[in-house]
Structure 1
């Protein structure tokens, strides 16, 4: 009986460790999107320097064959009581490229819309507090368009309500997700040439 309880506890703990979105983030996703900044593979929750994240990452999946088109959102979130959500990217038309990176089947897009990528830039804080930057990959429905009720948030990039966006845009739950953490104090150049 004690062995069964110990094994059950480990399995439950393992399911928490496998979560690909931060605790409390909605929607929660357990399938990890492969995200690379250069050669750095992002494991969920990895702390990364701001300067390493200023160019859009390479994304993809492992051990799955995807077809069709996909939509990628990158949302900056922190303590919901103190911080606004920031839309760091909303890019459409991701498709399988036929290329791989370290076993990852890479997805690519030429789109820069509806919201182009801009890297994390957390404000100076004392004490330092890491900000979460969450990547969500959705199947892209035919004739995808930003719903009228969300155009202002997508354009300004502030206060995106992603669960409501999913519903209003007719999206299914995200297939894959990942997140990284960045905190202020990285005083290198904000944008790389």
Structure 2
């Protein structure tokens, strides 16, 4: 799978190449030390063509809050293009001016590894952040990926990938109780994606089933304490 377990979009067939320094994320879901993800990664996609623009997302689906797990938007940037002279490698040019600038993965100390999913969508000519999501670009926590995609009229994704990051900084013998991991979800069809100037790409559905990894006594955790 190119997206994380429990992510609301499943069945993306194309892998988005994500690199943190010299570390090329492979396979999808690689566990990366937190210090290595301080800066935005470089991203490429062999399926990307120079005929249009794209929208890039990075979303954490494991943020603990009030006894459950919610989404947090780590990165949202539009007007992504193919870097000049890099048509073969598919290296992407990502504008520094973003709707939501890159935020380093910083799970709460001692929590489970958090899953951070990257998704690249073809950008419609009239793309704009839906009005109901303008505030979430600042608060980040409580993001709803599926609702945003639907409201923005985005088509099926071009490619995706994900990483895992765990924060073990200063972990001691005193454990903090966190909510159980988010359940996996039934996959959302991603169908064939048509990028301007490119052939249709087919993304097959992936299987999914609900399962809870365990039960824990939950505590209320403030937004400032996690995934900042």
TM norm. shorter chain > 0.5: yes
**Aligned residue for 1:9?**
none
Q: 1:173 aligns with which of 156, 159, 180?
A: 156
TM-score by length of 1: 0.78
Q: Which runs of 5+ in 1 are unaligned?
A: 1-18, 188-193
Q: 1:52 aligns with which of 5, 20, 36?
A: 36
**Aligned residue for 1:107?**
92
Q: CA RMSD in A?
A: 2.1
Give the strand-richer structure, 1 or 2.
1
Give yes or no for contact 1:88–1:115 (8 Å, CA) kept in 2.
yes
Give yes or no for contact 1:138–1:172 (8 Å, CA) kept in 2.
yes
Q: Secondary structure at the match of 1:105?
A: coil
**Aligned residue for 1:129?**
112
Q: Aligned partners of 2:80 and 2:62: how far apart in 1?
A: 27
Structure 1 residue runs of 4+, over 6 Å off? none
Give yes or no for contact 1:124–1:184 (8 Å, CA) kept in 2.
yes
Cα offset, 1:62, TM superposition: 2.7
**Aligned residue for 1:8?**
none
Q: Aligned partners of 2:160 and 2:49: how far apart in 1?
A: 17
Q: Which runs of 5+ in 2 are unaligned?
A: 171-228
Cα offset, 1:163, TM superposition: 0.8
* Residue 131 of structure 2 is aligned to residue 145 of structure 1: no
TM-score by length of 2: 0.67
* Residue 76 of structure 2 is aligned to residue 90 of structure 1: yes
Q: Aligned partners of 1:122 and 1:90: how far apart in 2?
A: 19
Q: Aligned partners of 2:22 and 2:86: how far apart in 1?
A: 13
Give the helix-richer structure, 1 or 2.
1
Change (3 A) 1:63 1:138: closer
* Residue 6 of structure 2 is aligned to residue 24 of structure 1: yes
